[in-house]
Amino acid sequence: MFNYSSTIFRLCFLLQVLLVVTPLVSAERCHPEDKKALLQIKNDLNNPTALSVWNPATDCCHYNQWKGVTCSAQNHRVFALNLSHIHIHHGPLPIPSSIAALPYLSVIQIMSVSNLIGPIPTSITTLDLNHLQISNISLSGTIPAFLSNLNNLITLELSNCNLSGPIPPSLISRMPNLDGLTLSGNSLNGSIPDSFWSFSNQFLYLDLANNRLSGYIPKSLENQNVAFVFLNDNMFEGDASFLFKSNRSTRIDLSKNKLAFDFGRVESFNDLLIALDLRYNKIYGKIPEAIKSLHVEKFNVSHNNLCGKIPTGGVLSSITDASAYAHNKCLCGTPLLPCSRDS
């Protein structure tokens, strides 16, 4: 599946870079305290080969010279640090707390670093972070409650980090500017906290897929206008059809849960919806005629308990793959077998 979370994160980051990145200059611009902190981070990671370009004799703010380091054009301080795709020798090692010695740091990306483990250092709460992305790192344990102290976060991703336990109710209640949250690929359990529904008006992306979350999806999410909703591969139950009416949602994936509701009672859909995946649930009833008015690129209701004739015309004319409807109770009609008099 296309990683919308990482793409959105990178777009936000690139926009920030375009505004503040340092141009090519001949004079040394790297602040000595920042260089000292970066060299300490390098040392804390056992001087990995990928960071051999972090040479104390060179300018850490020189464009694209120090791998993963981006400086501000205004004050020449390090504002973004990307420690992704690095192999650490003689590990495992924890995420360096020395990251917090970069006082102007706004963006932290740590992805797919071999032999790097948790925990997330509490020292990062001293930073004024806007973007925090940690993925494919073995953090283990629960989501740290202290992350709620990062009040100015815009995007937060902790994906594929071997995290367990419930989602802390306070996690985003104190993040008024948050517009993207990704906690996918962990072993989180329990229900979605009610406090989650205090999203800002610009909240765009919610990805809680591939966890062990359960219970009902709170109906208050209907009023949040989240554009991308990925709750697949969990154990949610009950009725989630209210999500189809959210007037900003464009992609909804609820597949591989335990949802059970009468699909035929859905009378209208959000006009912006272009992808709806409901595979592997316990959804029953008929496929509603209203689905024909959408302009969906992806529609899949296979492995449910649906019955009746598949509506014809509209966007459904382009859904010609029978696997999108297969393994239901008694669905019939194109692209499945013709309906009999009994069906």
User: What is the Cα–Cα distance from 259 to 2, expressed in whole angstroms?
Assistant: 24
User: What is the Cα–Cα distance from 243 to 163, expressed in whole angstroms?
Assistant: 27
* Consecutive H or E run containing 8: helix 4-20
Region 108-117 average pLDDT:
95
The predicted pLDDT at position 239 comes to: 96
- What does the angle CA 56 – CA 58 – CA 63 come to, to the nearest 5 degrees? 130
Q: Which residues pair with 205 in a beta bridge?
A: 180, 228
* pLDDT at residue 168 tops 60: yes
Cα 336 → chain centroid: 35
Other C-beta atoms closer than 10 Å to the C-beta of 244 total: 22
**310 within 8 A of 288, measured Cβ to Cβ:** no
User: What is the Cα–Cα distance from 322 to 166, expressed in whole angstroms?
Assistant: 38
The predicted pLDDT at position 198 comes to: 65
* Consecutive H or E run containing 229: strand 228-230
**248 within 8 A of 271, measured Cβ to Cβ:** no
* pLDDT at residue 285 tops 80: yes
Nearest in space to 66 (alpha carbons), one of 9, 22, 100, 19 = 22
Instruction: Report the helix count and the strand count for the chain, using DSSP H and E.
Output: 2, 21
**137 within 8 A of 108, measured Cβ to Cβ:** no
- DSSP sequence for 96-122: PGGGGG-TT--EEEEES-BTEE-PPPG
pTM listed for this prediction: 0.89
**189 within 8 A of 212, measured Cβ to Cβ:** yes
- As a dihedral over the C-alpha atoms of residue 3, residue 203, residue 155, residue 185, rounded to 10 degrees, the angle is -40
**22 within 8 A of 63, measured Cβ to Cβ:** yes
Region 262-271 average pLDDT:
93
The predicted pLDDT at position 337 comes to: 94
The predicted pLDDT at position 62 comes to: 87
% pLDDT > 90, the chain: 71
Q: Which CATH class is domain 45-302?
A: alpha beta
Nearest in space to 258 (alpha carbons), one of 287, 242, 280 = 280
* pLDDT at residue 38 tops 80: yes
And the tokens for 31? Answer: 């602040």
Dump pLDDT digits (tens) for 46-84.
999 999 999 999 999 987 789 999 999 999 999 999 999
